[in-house]
A and B are shown apart, each in its own frame.
Chain A
Amino acid sequence: MVELGRDPIRVDALLDAVRVPGAGAVVLFLGTVRDHSRGRHVGHLEYEAYEALARKEMTRIATHAIERWGVRIAIVHRLGTLAIGEISVAIAVAAPHRRDAFEAGRFAIDTLKQTVPIWKKEVWASGSEWIGQEEPSPSA
């Protein structure tokens, strides 16, 4: 299960997508909107994606997790305007044993953050900033 959408993320749907009788462990990661960042009080976040490539990359991550750890995995990322405390990304991983579920889940969120073309804008009282723009970046 790989999804990218504007509706609130339903955690139950992720769990249902991965739970099977052969699973002895289910790991759930939720990325939630934090009310502060780098010393600022954050009002809300805006997420934007290059959707076609983001879906391809999320599918690639899920496929790698399945092939390497033998897990079942669901990855869902939300786009649009999110309020403090809302879930921006959710990853559920089921495996026969917990070690594989934790390792695959850690791999999936770390890789998603680095490679999936989804951008986050922090909006605070007196301005806003796209994250990733505040640090020097290599040229294309």
Chain B
Amino acid sequence: MQITVHLFAAHREAVGTSTVPLIIPHGTTAGEIWTLLVTRHPGLRQVAPPTAVAVNDTVHPADHPLAEGDQVALLAPVSGGAHG
């Protein structure tokens, strides 16, 4: 099945685009997308992994099963309050 992965900030720059279409096996979970994407875009090894994954604009746990057409957003670490 096919999904669309949405990337932001350092993840987007490492891949060079903000959306990536991805063909995945049935039963793939939200938490497995990062590993699949790193295999295809090794530049992502240089940046911190996502701290959360949203599916269709809602954050889900890593074991959330994906469905055909899902819009999967990988949330890069946010700046937090330490420096603001």
A residues with a Cβ closer than 8 A to B are 31, 37-38, 48-50, 52-53, 56, 110, 113-121, 130-133, 135-140
Whether B73 pairs with A53 at a CB distance below 8 angstroms is yes
Contact of B9 among A113, A130, A135 (CB under 8 A): A130
Top 3 closest A-B pairs, CB basis? A132-B77, A119-B9, A131-B79
Whether A137 pairs with B79 at a CB distance below 8 angstroms is no
Q: Which of B30, B31, B73, B78 has the most CB of A within 10 A?
A: B78
Whether B62 pairs with A119 at a CB distance below 8 angstroms is no
- A selection of 9 A-B contacts at a CB cut-off of 8 Å is A31-B84, A118-B78, A118-B79, A119-B10, A130-B10, A130-B13, A135-B77, A140-B31, A140-B74
Q: A117-B78, A132-B76 are in contact. List 4 more A-B contacts (CB 8 A).
A: A53-B54, A53-B59, A53-B73, A119-B9
A50 to B76, CA, bound (A): 10
A25 to B79, CA, bound (A): 30
Whether A140 pairs with B80 at a CB distance below 8 angstroms is no
Q: Does B66 contact A (CB under 8 A)?
A: no
